[in-house]
Structure 1
Amino acid sequence: MKKDFQDLPKKRFYRAKGRKRGISPGMDPRLRRAFAKIGVPEKTPFVPDPFQLEALDAIDKGDCLVTAPTGSGKTWIAEQAIRRIREAGGRTWYASPLKALTNSIYVIFCGIFGPENVGILTGDRKENPDADIIVGTTEILRNQLYDAMHRGENIRTDFVILDEAHFLGDEERGVVWEEVMIYLPTRIPLLLLSATIGNARRIAAWLSSIRGKPCVVVEEKKRPVPLVPLFFHPSGKLFPLTAVVNGKKRLYGKISEFITGKRQPYIARPGQLPPFGDILAVFRKYRLLPAIFFLKSRADCDNALDRCQKNVISDMNRKAAIGAFIDDFAEQVPHIAKHPQRRHLEHFAVGAHHSGQLPAWKFLVEQLMTQGLLDAVFATSTVAAGVNFPARTIVFLNSDKFNGVEFMPLTPTEFHQMTGRAGRRGMDHIGFAAVLPGRYMDVRLMARLVTAPPADVYSQIKINFSMALNLLLSHTPDQIQLLLEKSFAAYLLEHDSGYRSYRKMGKTAEREAPEKSRLWNDFLDHLDFLKKTGYVSEEGKLTDDGMWASQLRVDHPLSIAEGFRLGVFPENNPAVIAGLMAAFVNERECDDRVLKEVVPNTLKRAFQNVVKGLGPFLKQMADAGFDVRPLYLRPCLSVYLWAAGAHTWEHVVRVSELAEGDMAVLILRTADNLRHIVALREVFPEASKNASKAVESILRDPVAVFF
């Protein structure tokens, strides 16, 4: 061990060939000044920051893109802008990427503007849709724009706010943000709220070029609460992660010596989680709680709770408040009363938060954390996007993040979004981001990310059958070509050499055609297939089948449309309809071999008819180069059993072999698909009626609970 660490007792380390030893609190003297700032600011009247006032001034003149750190007060800008629109007699559409965030904003706006003036549209919820203020998901807004273009009408809003606008660069859903920006009538002012992004002015220049009016960029780079990066040594001693050397922030010298040492101590043995109870004791000594720990997996988040048993709640008043809150909540959602993680909340003030949990349980954890009743939440990185329960300290155990396919190093944008939860405006003078060394931690990368500029956002637009059908509702192919030329992708290809390099290296650069014509060629491929299968005429107009198929704004509209056209879906059984739709929603590989003896014959025959009947069409799609997902029986059976109502939630989850949260998502997405079938009442009245019944049968406790 290097001399700078000689003051650390060796008995406190974990060594590769040693035995487990304890952790004791310690602090490098360089942290005294930062730790002395810890505390709660005095309550003072709210004074807007200059960037907030600048944004409001810009909105009066045209479009505006606000890019600012997480927690800096972007929602206040939206609130004030909505007030001005309402005073002028106008209506507002507030679009967000996540249903949880949408629900949260809805609650906030109901409190500000009154519930009678606010509506919510998320697919799961449709309340007060004629209100002056609509809060909804971006997909719903995009669909309303499709309908308005088809009818030749103006969408019923006078102002649009796109929250989390950096989702424009999201590989899966960024296309929806880009479509909204392209389709939105220029008469409607657009306010975009985003985390810090590198190429905000490029995005604004593109919007100005397609909307014919200026888009003002308002940038705020300063965090509302200063951030101090820490290094948690395996002994329990805290060090600065970085230090200023020759005017630049670099990895603190002692940390550099630590990570290059030949016999590094470590906090936990390979494959084991750290002793979080001891870590929390260190944080408590230096007043660094509450904390959010970002872990690699859901299982780690759940297992971390059992590593906190030393963190016994000593304040009986706080313990009683947690118990009372859970009891009150359980009256609304009885299922959570016996949740296996309840005892961790009540006895150790810690909770887990990840996508494998039920929405109601995640909401409960969020509320307890927001009220200051918990010491720590163990979460996957998804909590950084849109869920608002800031803490005093953010703790990283990994320097990478799972992107759905593989683990990749954190980007500057992801790092800054996660650390945006560190330090609560109005509750903290200062926030902290602690790095724990370990197998999946690149300490040097984390030190670089502290000062790294935000990453650029690139276009993710791509053609799919739903987009093709809906554009053909109101445009000729030639008009669609002009529309695609307005895309952010087309603009970047002309103006940004970095994007051209990105396209060549990325997954989307698969075709040999010139980049400028890629989108158009892709549309032509979809158009050609729609013509061959009778959804579009040779003249490029939707046939009668194409007209109703366009209303299936789901992931696999053509497969479902063909199923109805061939008559392979039984239309008179709500539970069977729900189960079959789940097969199209499912995105996971499943093992169906053990199901043959437990599947009801009614469902088994229906599923076999769909697979057999659609087989030739799906092969035709695959041969034409389009993605075709296999249909599995397990998700079909799971949702069927839930819809039929003869089995408990626990039994259905066991059959599904999914986590509770994943089963809930499967049901909620199935309900989304079913609602689109309900919309086909004029063409398939029986299916529409029973799809409506199916929605009612699957949206019940503990899946669908709204607050």
Structure 2
Amino acid sequence: MRFKTFILDKFQEDSILAIEKNKSVLVSAPTGSGKTLIADYVIDKFLKENSRIIYTAPIKALSNQKYKEFTNSYGEDKIGLITGDLVINPDAQVLIMTTEVYRNMAIINDHTLDSVAYCIMDEIHYISDEERGYVWEESIIFSPRHIKFLFLSATIPNSKEFASWIQSIRNNPVEVIKCDIRPVPLERKFYDSEIGITTLDEIKERKELDKYPDYNHFMRRRYRTSRVPKPDFRNLIAELGDRLPCIYFVFSRAKTMEYASTLAIKKQFLTIEEQKKTITIVSQEFNKLNKEMLSLKSTQKLRECIPKGVAFHNAGILPELKHIVEKLFSVGLIKVLFATETFAVGINMPAKTVCFDSLRKYTKTGFRYLTSKEYFQISGRAGRRGIDKTGLSVAIIHRPTAEIDKIKEFTTKDVLPLKSQFKLTYNTILNMINQHSAEENTRILTMNFFTYQKLKGSKSNRLLGSIKARFTKATNLLTTLGYIKDDKLTELGLFTTKIFGDELEISQMFGGNIDLDEYSILLLLASLEYESKKETIFYKTFEDMNSKRLFNKIQQNPILRRGVWSHNIDKLTAIIHPLYHQKKFLDILKNSNLVEGDLIRIFMRIMDKLEQISKASNNKKELVMINNCKKMIINSLEGIHLF
């Protein structure tokens, strides 16, 4: 069977046959195996049938990439993009969006979904994500029953259980298609500073020998562990030899730039002919940037690295710079690319070799080892179909501190099952009360994946009672706070159904006694969206009566006092004061050491919230202020590409 110019693998054929039978389909296959081709088929099929399709992705980078791919294939008039802060062609036949946007549509019963035939959910294994997993779960629960799904995922050990849950709540058959074979076999290796590229078993044997003492010429007993040097990324890359290009994953944005700069000083990876091609492309692309962009540290560092065949890619650099790096990498002129984890999800650009700087990453709860899903997602970028016979994955191991048995668990096989992260947000509860009867809500509370996994078809009054008790407790609080009255939503409650994230804080901003103006709106939203970091320095802040008055108002409101980091109010005047006074983005950037990508993210998150508020509010004065705030951000970002 062929589709376009491709001869389909069996799992792709089986998936398409199930789609033709009007079934929902769950495809579980390794990264790089060709799952996206099935999504292409769905889009092609339903475009021809004049039906509407939605494609959801877990991160904006992947949404943006898919938008570019699909517009190239089907034309700009057919494709739309909605990522909360960015809306392009929202009436298009194919809508690409983040999963959060889709969930928000589903939970408020948005009429956009009335005409949707199929929803493609990419990276469905994100349902296990501790912070965001509930978004995928609610998307499935609250979607209109006429919508069929194509779920795409890396290997799912409990795929049949997951499909059975979906069938049980949607009354629609879900075909499970599994493929365990990679089109390009993956060779999994590890790097030790003394042994070099080797196996985990070899490192384990050497670690056992390290326990025994040896003696120096003074006959002092010493344990070898104490003098095993830490691995150096430069030595690993040198040992790779011709097994390039390589994507070297680092769980630190700062280190991607640092490593690239260090390597480029010492090594030239390009031939004379490749250097000529690179210089031509670099000249063309960098000439498109204005003087302020050219003066940025990230731009200067890339200009130094790229002619050597080295580059870095992370969320902190301008989209324009990411495009240049991606273009050069795609044509083989970047041989070593230092990237953060998002490159493994957001950019479909495999390499011959993938390296891990570490198998541990920092999260909000501290350092932890990768999960098997994370390890295989990143490793899956190794091996280019039709080019490489095998892909190589190499992870750096520091022998003395490595937990070898633990590492073996998650690097041998992806055995992590999908797990429910269901939780009841205030927004969810208010929308349930607004959209459904009390009887329907009782049924909805039992529809989550957590309940299904625990009950397995049996009934547990204790478990169901616990979920209902959480719902009742939250409902009582919302009633006390004035969001619900006589089992119906008040005006404040209705407003809050349209606010997704920080819903109580934002509703208190507009429903409380704050006396808002444009400056205070921007400052409050910034304080909600800014993620405080120790290393962030605000060089120039602005004292004024407005920020002091706002601080006092926050202290008087218990919800705002809890949700708004009021000590950030003064700091954030460094970026909000110049924004309010019509300064441009690159001028605002000078007031702190925030990298350009982080400042863009703050502004775009504020823009997302402003868009939500504009849909939630009926107050003309508020709507005028919200519109003015949006204009200020648009003015600031003029000339900056947002994706």
Question: Which runs of structure 2 are paired with 1:377-396 in the superposition (5 Å)?
Answer: 377-396=337-356
1:98 aligns with 2:47: no
- Which AA in structure 2 matches 1:354? N
Paired residue secondary structure (1:677): helix
Q: Is the 8 A contact 1:638 1:656 kept in 2?
A: yes
Distance 1:377 1:218, change over 3 A: same
CA distance in 2: counterparts of 1:355 and 1:154, whole angstroms:
31
Alignment map for 1:548-559 (pairs within 5 Å):
548-553=495-500, 555-559=501-505
- Matched residue SS, 2:109: helix
1:205 corresponding residue in structure 2: 164
Contact 2:156 2:418 in 1 (8 A): yes
Specify which of 510, 521, 525 is matched with residue 581 of structure 1. 525
User: Which residue in the other structure is 1:613 paired with?
Assistant: 553
The equivalent of 2:626 in structure 1 is 691
1:217, distance to aligned residue in structure 2 (A): 0.8
Indicate the residue corresponding to 2:597 in structure 1: 661
Aligned to 1:563: 509
1:636 counterpart (553, 561, 572): 572
Shift in Å, 1:194: 0.8
Q: Secondary structure at the match of 2:488?
A: coil
| Match among 538, 546, 569 for residue 493 of structure 2 | 546
Is 446-455 or 132-141 further displaced after alignment?
Answer: 446-455
Could you state the TM-score of these two structures normalised by the residue count of structure 1?
0.80
Helix, strand or coil: the match of 2:254? helix
Whole-angstrom distance in 2 between the partners of 1:101 and 1:194? 14
Give the letter for the 2:542 counterpart: V
Q: CA deviation at 1:482?
A: 1.4
**Cα deviations by residue, 1:13-35 (Å, 9 ceiling, x for unpaired):** xxxxxxxxxxxxxxxxxxxxxxx
Give the Cα separation in 1 of the matches to 2:536 and 2:15: 55
- Secondary structure of 1:422's aligned partner: coil
Deviation at 1:409, TM superposition (A): 1.6
Partner of residue 396 from structure 2, selected from 432, 436, 439: 436
Does the aligned pair in 2 maintain the 1:267–1:274 contact within 8 Å?
no
Describe the superposition over 1:248-298 as per-residue Cα deviations: whole angstroms up to 9, x where unpaired.
xxx2xx44433333376999955xx7251x4433323xx210111222423
| Stretch deviating more after TM superposition (261-270 or 130-139) | 261-270
Residue equivalent to 2:148: 189
- Cross-structure match for 1:673: 609
Query: Residue 414 of structure 2: SS of its match in structure 1?
Result: coil
- Range 104-113 or range 656-665, more displaced: 656-665
Q: 8 Å contact 2:505–2:560 — kept in the other structure?
A: no
Q: Does residue 1:302 correspond to 2:257, yes or no? A: yes
Of 65, 71, 74, which aligns to 2:35?
Answer: 74
Pair 492,238 (structure 1): closer, same or farther in 2 beyond 3 Å: closer
Partner of 1:6: none
Give 3-state SS (helix, strand or coil) of 2:346's partner. coil
Deviation of 1:320 (Å): 3.4
Partner of 2:19: 59
Aligned-partner SS, 1:299: helix
Per the alignment, residue 82 of structure 2 pairs with 121
Aligned to 1:221: 180
Aligned in 2, Cα 1:216/1:417: closer, same or farther, shift over 3 Å?
same
- Deviation of 1:646 after TM superposition, in Å, equals 5.6
Q: Work out whether residues 569 and 577 of structure 1, in 8 Å CA contact, stay in contact via their aligned partners in 2.
A: no
- Distance in 2, Cα, partners of 1:264 & 1:394: 30
Moved more, 140-149 or 213-222: 140-149
Matched with 2:134 is: 175
For 2:192 and 2:279, how far apart are their aligned partners in 1?
35
Following the alignment from structure 2 to structure 1, what is the Cα–Cα distance between the partners of residues 259 and 453? 44
* SS of match in other structure, 1:158: strand
1:212 Cα offset (Å): 0.8
Give the 3-state SS of the residue equivalent to 2:489 in structure 1.
Answer: coil
Structure 1: state its 5+ residue gaps: 1-43, 243-250, 501-512
Matched, 1:599 2:542: yes
Q: What letter matches 1:691 in structure 2?
A: I
Q: Does 1:315 align with 2:274?
A: no
Structure 1 residues 528 and 630, CA gap change in structure 2 (3 angstroms): farther
Q: Is the alpha carbon distance of 1:680 and 1:63 closer, same or farther for their aligned partners in structure 2, counting shifts above 3 Å?
A: closer
Q: State the shift of 1:329 in Å.
A: 3.3
Amino acid at match of 1:564: F
What percent identity do the matched residue pairs reach? 27
Determine if contact 2:541/2:573 at 8 Å carries over to the other structure. no
RMSD of aligned Cα (Å): 3.1
The one-letter amino acid of 2:523's match is G
Counterpart of 2:118 in structure 1 is 159
**Equivalent position SS for 1:552:** coil
- 1:389–1:638 distance in 2 versus 1, CA, 3 Å: farther
- Cα separation, 2, equivalents of 1:140 and 1:582: 20
Mapped partners of 1:664, 1:288: distance in 2: 36
Query: How far off is 1:431 after superposition?
Result: 0.4
- SS of 1:112 mapped into structure 2: helix
Q: Give me the whole-angstrom Cα distance separating, in 2, the residues matched to 1:703 and 1:358.
A: 12
Q: Distance in 1 between matches of 2:293 and 2:482?
A: 50
Q: Deviation per CA, 1:580-634: give whole Å up to 9, x if none.
A: 2111222326799998x94142xxx333333333434326996xxxx77556215
What is the aligned partner in structure 1 of residue 248 from structure 2? 293
Residue 361 (structure 1) aligns with: 321
Instruction: Give the equivalent residue in structure 2 for 1:516.
Output: 464
2:421 is matched with 460
SS of the aligned residue for 2:572 comes to helix
Q: Choose 525-534 or 102-111, whichever is displaced more.
A: 525-534
Q: Secondary structure at the match of 1:148?
A: coil
Deviations 1:421-474 (A, max 9, x none): 001122322100113332664455444444323301111111112222222221
Deviation of the 1:400 alpha carbon: 1.8
- Cα deviation for residue 642 of structure 1 reads 4.6
Gaps of 5+ in 2: 211-222
Structure 1 distance, partners of 2:617, 2:58, is 29
Structure 1 position 645, deviation (Å): 5.2
Superposed CA deviations along residues 292-344 of structure 1, whole A, max 9, x for unmatched, are 12224233322212331222244233223333334433455435434132234
| Bigger shift: residues 76-85 or 346-355 | 346-355
**CA contact 2:82–2:88 (8 Å) conserved in 1:** yes
Measured in 2, the distance between the counterparts of 1:697 and 1:111 equals 32
User: Could you give the per-residue CA deviations for residues 105-128 of structure 1, whole angstroms, max 9, x where no partner exists?
Assistant: 011111221221111111232111
Q: In 2, distance between residues paired with 1:628 and 1:701?
A: 25
* Per-residue deviation, 1:358: 3.4
AA at the equivalent of 1:406? G
Q: Say whether the 8 Å CA contact 1:64–1:191 is kept in structure 2.
A: yes
Q: How much has 1:401 moved relative to structure 2?
A: 2.2
Pairwise CA distance, 1:227: 0.8
> Is contact 2:106–2:142 with CA below 8 Å preserved after alignment?
yes
1:225, 1:702 → 2: CA distance? Answer: 44
Greater displacement, 163-172 / 586-595: 586-595
The question of whether the paired residues in 1 share the 8 Å contact of 2:528 and 2:564 is answered with no
